[in-house]
Amino acid sequence: MNQYPEYSVISELKEILKNSNTIQSRSLYFEKYVDPRIKDDKRRDFYKKVIGLKPQQKKITNWFSFIESIPNKLVFYFQLQSRLMVNMAGGVFENAGLCLDRFGVPYIPGSAVKGCVRRSAIQSLLETAGTKEKVQLLVDICLTFGWTEVDWKKGSSDFYYGCNNDENIINCAANELIKSFNIEKEESHSMEADKKISKYMPNFAGLFSFLDAYPIPSKYYPNINLQNDLELEVMSPHHKEYYEGKRQQALDIENPVPIFFPAVSAGHIFCFCILGSKRIGFFEREGKEESLKTKVKQWLQEGLQELGIGAKTAAGYGWFIDVTKQVEEKIIKVEEQERKEKEEKEKRLRQEEEREKEEEKRRAEKEAFEKETKGMSELDKNVYELSKRSDQQFKDKLRNDFLNATDTEKEAFYQLLKDKKKKVWLEIKDLPQKGNKKEKKTWGQIVNEINKMAKQKKEKMPND
């Protein structure tokens, strides 16, 4: 009998789901705000609702920036050619989990990446012919992925599987490792090599770390436009009663039962990053570092392109192709474009700042002019303004504006040419006759009109 009748798991679940419509996080929906009792169409509708939510793109951008900042990394870009399902057993619904981070972004855990690469390495070991070659390859696998004591025990190790259960190869590889790490002991000379490792170095973490693989920002996709990052997948068992033990034979008399679950859409480009540990420098003297990096790259390519990653790879899910070269070229183009855009933006900002400063200067000059010329006539204001200019500025103003100026403005020019700007008059008065063709054309009308004004006033312009 329930000791607390007012409390039950169902009542708590109802309370949790009551306000779930306000949640915008995929991860929360899949992990917490989900009713595991719903079936069929209700389950399908739940998935459609959650798939319709968008992940936080900032996480993808920040993760990519983080990867770019890591020194001495191995980075590869692979494009998903079919739907991907990772962590199917980790969800609330049976066989319908999905690997999403807290921001709703689908990713491949580093452990899955390492498992895929190791599986490819063991397959390569299995297919390698020749004892010497197998020994060397097994040593490389051990250094890359590390080992535990179990890996050296027959019947429970993929080392033995890859070596076709040949204990001689296992012992030779163990001897090579003992030499590399200098773990030989005098009392262990008679001991088999694999047993020496089990005793003196039973665990080794490996020289490489495999980071989580995240999709790259969409701007780096070469000529690809993804509509949705998640899709609804369906599986239709035809013999439900047979699988449940209700029938002795799987007869084709049952209706298929569609089971819906989410999957990562094909077309995504994931960034796979592998880091070498500091200990890898220990093998530099033997030229081992570059050799191991080359093999890791090869195993990753073969694993993703030939074996797949995640669930249902035998049915065609989780297969990739290598697009590293295309993405790197796209990254260079995008970064160059962003650099140009940044420079253009900075240039526009500088020009805007200069324009604002110039406007502020003009406003200040206008305010000062209005203050200084308060109470003056229009002619006196014009004379005052022109007198503030240098001779060259005055000359330019005269050349550009005199012919289209008002009578008051022309009078201001005239008065200054007779008095304060006499030097300018002496420079231009003979240009209509003695200047070059351009000067004659430019100054002819101006000088004639000024002389005409002087004649009307019965005054004389300054001479040398």
DSSP 101-154: -TTS-B-B-HHHHHHHHHHHHHHHHHH--SHHHHHHHHHHHHHHH-B-GGGGST
Is 254 within a domain?
A: yes
120, part of any domain: no
Residue 118 lies in a domain: no
Asked whether residue 462 is domain-assigned, the answer is no
Cα–Cα distance for residue pair 166/52, rounded to 1 Å = 53
Q: What is the pLDDT of residue 4?
A: 46
User: Which structural domain, as residue segments, surrounds residue 26?
Assistant: 20-105+212-272+298-322
Whether residues 318 and 390 share a domain: the answer is no
Same domain, 416 and 317: no
**Tokens, residue 120:** 């490819």
Query: Are residues 27 and 93 both part of a single domain?
Result: yes
**Is 445 inside a domain boundary?**
yes
Helix, strand, coil % over all residues of the chain, rounded to 5: 60, 10, 35
Residues 262 and 404 in one domain: no
- What pLDDT is stored for residue 1 in this prediction? 45
Residue 14 is predicted with a pLDDT of 58
DSSP-assigned letter for residue 305? I
* pLDDT given at position 432: 82
Give the three-class secondary structure for 430.
Answer: coil
Q: What is the pLDDT of residue 184?
A: 66
Instruction: Give the pLDDT confidence score for residue 10 in this predicted structure.
Output: 55
Domain count, the chain: 2
Look up residue 212 and give its two tokens.
């989580």
Residues 268 and 396 in one domain: no
Q: What is the DSSP letter of 213?
A: B
DSSP, res 192: -
Q: 403: closest CA among 457, 445, 364?
A: 445
Do 327 and 77 touch, CB atoms closer than 8 A?
A: yes
Q: Is residue 254 a contact partner of residue 241, using CB atoms and an 8 Å limit? A: yes
Judgement on whether residues 257 and 400 belong to the same structural domain of the protein: no
Domain membership flag for residue 111: no
Same domain, 265 and 382: no
Instruction: Give one word for 110, left, alpha or beta, with left for phi > 0 and alpha for psi -120 to 50.
Output: alpha
The predicted structure's pLDDT at residue 319: 94
Using the Cα atoms of residue 43, residue 48, residue 53 and residue 55 in order, give the sign of their dihedral: positive
Instruction: Report the DSSP pairing between strands 320-322 and 73-80.
Output: antiparallel
Q: Mark whether 98 and 222 lie in a shared domain.
A: yes
Q: Is residue 216 part of a domain?
A: yes
Q: Are the beta carbons of 81 and 71 closer than 8 angstroms? A: no
Note down pLDDT in tens along the chain; length 464 residues: 445 444 455 565 555 555 556 677 787 777 777 777 777 888 888 888 888 888 888 889 999 999 989 888 899 999 999 999 888 777 666 666 788 888 889 999 999 999 999 999 999 999 998 899 999 999 999 999 989 888 888 877 899 999 998 888 988 888 888 887 776 666 566 667 777 777 778 888 888 999 999 999 988 888 766 677 888 888 776 777 777 777 777 777 777 777 788 888 899 999 999 998 876 666 555 567 788 889 999 999 999 999 999 888 888 899 999 999 999 999 999 999 999 999 999 999 999 999 999 999 889 888 888 888 888 889 988 888 888 889 899 889 888 898 888 999 888 888 888 888 888 888 888 888 877 777 778 788 888 988 889 888 888 888 85
Residue by residue, DSSP assigns 19-55 as TGGG---HHHHHHTS--TT--HHHHHHHHHHHHTSPP
Which residues, including other chains, have CB under 8 Å from residue 134's CB and lie 6 or more apart?
125, 128, 162, 163, 166, 169
- Residue 257, classed as helix, strand or coil, is coil
Q: Which of 265, 264, 263, 271 is nearest to 221 (CA)?
A: 271
- Are residue 318 and residue 243 in the same domain, yes or no? yes
What's the pLDDT at 306?
Answer: 93
The pLDDT of residue 429 = 85
27 and 96 housed in the same domain: yes
* N residues, the chain: 464
- Together in a domain, 317 and 445: no
pLDDT at 35: 74
Residue 436: strand, helix, or coil: coil
Same domain, 101 and 248: yes
CA nearest neighbour of 447 among 434, 423, 431: 431
Establish if 388 belongs to a structural domain: yes
User: Cα-atom radius of gyration of the chain, to the nearest Å?
Assistant: 42
Q: What is the DSSP letter of 90?
A: G
Q: How far is CA 348 from the centre of its chain?
A: 26
* Cα–Cα distance, 197 to 179 (Å, whole number): 11
User: Residue 7's pLDDT is what?
Assistant: 46
